Amino acid sequence: MSKSTLYSASPEPRPYRVIISGGGTGGHIFPAVAIANELRRRQPEAEILFVGANGRMEMTRVPEAGYRIVGLDIAGLQRRLTPQNLLFPMKVLRSVRKAGKLLEEFRPDAVVGVGGYASAPVLLAATSRGIPSLIQEQNSYAGLVNKLLSRRVDRICVAYEGMDKFFPAQKLVVTGNPVRTEIASGSRAEALEFFGLDPAKKVLLVIGGSLGARTLNEATAAALPRLRDAGVQLLWQTGKLYYPQAVGQTASFQADNLQALEFVQRMDLAYAAADVVVSRAGALSVSELCLTGKPSILVPSPNVAEDHQTKNAQALVSQAAALLVADAEAPARLYDEALDLLADPARQQQLRQHILALAHPEATTTIVDELLKLMDRR
């Protein structure tokens, strides 16, 4: 179907229609929902459709956020030879065809890709039809899908400077990552009361993502006696799998200052309570740390494509805005660094100032500005 057929003139303007594609992890899904929320805030009549990958977390998280989603039967290439890899070209072809049918039925004014399996077929189908398209790259090292699509799309919103080494410079807009602005609005007094913490004692927050992080969990478990003896209060987000074990480990010390949490619903209060944060270096986590201005020790996951978490962390370290401990070194070094930083208010203040300078509180607004510019050309 030609662009002229797909966008035949109508007698009256209709509300904007936008497809947002991608997912696979919270680092893709939460920015996508933030973009949708901002678009809907400004254009309440806008019609928004998400496209994800069947079996991935976006198929539940997006409806929970109040949006409709359609799933494609698409998955990534495995890093080893498997039967699934042999089926990959056929799955891509089928997904591109299904995406094309969705475009013809929904007739979007623009398509947004946030990375992840589902964004590739949707953006391929959209750009082949001349539909305005925008991709949002969360990491300091560009993902493969976004690099491959960069010459086809109209706009590329990035979180870091220097991304012209991956993308055409004339298409780049440095926006930062979409983060819920309320994440930085928590009251410390409310936070201390919420978690039952002593205002006279230091608070360490350990977060490994919604699924938890084995290295962080094991290093934290080993450090519990040191934290207890130092009088440090611990908020330890473990993830679902490790949580039962962590509860038993903290309970064995009979110390109120050590709390294991499966998942933290009120991250605004967790950040507000924390003096120091230990975290993985996913794009969303890094953006939240910048926005909240937290002195941080980043332990990048080694199990991600192109080691992009290390590159995210190094982008902060190069600006003296965070500390970095390699995953392999964490068992030996992490809690030496954490306890030293907790005991050094001057260093905490230096890190706080530098990381706040890297925040982009208007990221979501700027991305939607760019999206509206593309749609206004229709």
150 marked as binding residue: no
Taking only the tens of pLDDT, the chain with its 378 residues reads 444 445 444 445 789 999 999 887 777 898 999 999 999 999 999 999 999 999 988 999 999 999 999 999 886 544 454 555 444 556 677 888 899 999 999 999 999 999 887 899 999 999 999 999 999 999 988 888 889 899 999 999 999 989 999 999 999 999 999 988 789 999 999 999 999 999 999 999 999 876 779 999 999 999 999 999 999 999 999 998 999 999 999 988 777 789 999 989 899 999 999 999 999 999 999 999 999 999 999 999 998 877 889 999 999 999 999 999 999 999 999 999 999 999 999 999 999 999 999 999 999 999 999 999 999 876
Provide the β-strand partners of residue 324.
298
Judge whether 182 is annotated as a binding position: no
Report pLDDT for 205: 98
Predicted local distance difference test score (pLDDT) of residue 301: 93
| Residue 210, marked binder | yes
284 annotated ligand binder: yes
Q: Is 27 annotated as a binding residue?
A: yes
With b for 16 or more beta-carbon neighbours within 10 A and e for fewer, the 94-129 pattern comes to: ebbebbbebbeeeebbbbbbbbbbbbbbbbbbbbeb
Cα–Cα distance measured from residue 283 to residue 291, given in angstroms and rounded to the nearest whole number: 12
Q: Say whether 180 counts as a known binding-site residue.
A: yes
Place of tokens 């607004």: 365
Q: Is 130 annotated as a binding residue?
A: no
Integer Cα distance of 71 and 122 in angstroms: 11
Domains of the chain: 3-177+361-376 (3.40.50.2000), 182-356 (3.40.50.2000)
Residue 287 is labelled as binding a ligand: yes
288 is in an annotated binding site: yes
| 46 labelled ligand-binding | no
pLDDT value at residue 229: 93
pTM for this entry: 0.84
Say whether 26 counts as a known binding-site residue: yes
Q: Is 278 annotated as a binding residue?
A: no
Residue 25 assigned to a binding site: yes
User: Quick one: pLDDT at residue 9?
Assistant: 44
Given this model, what pLDDT does residue 90 score?
64
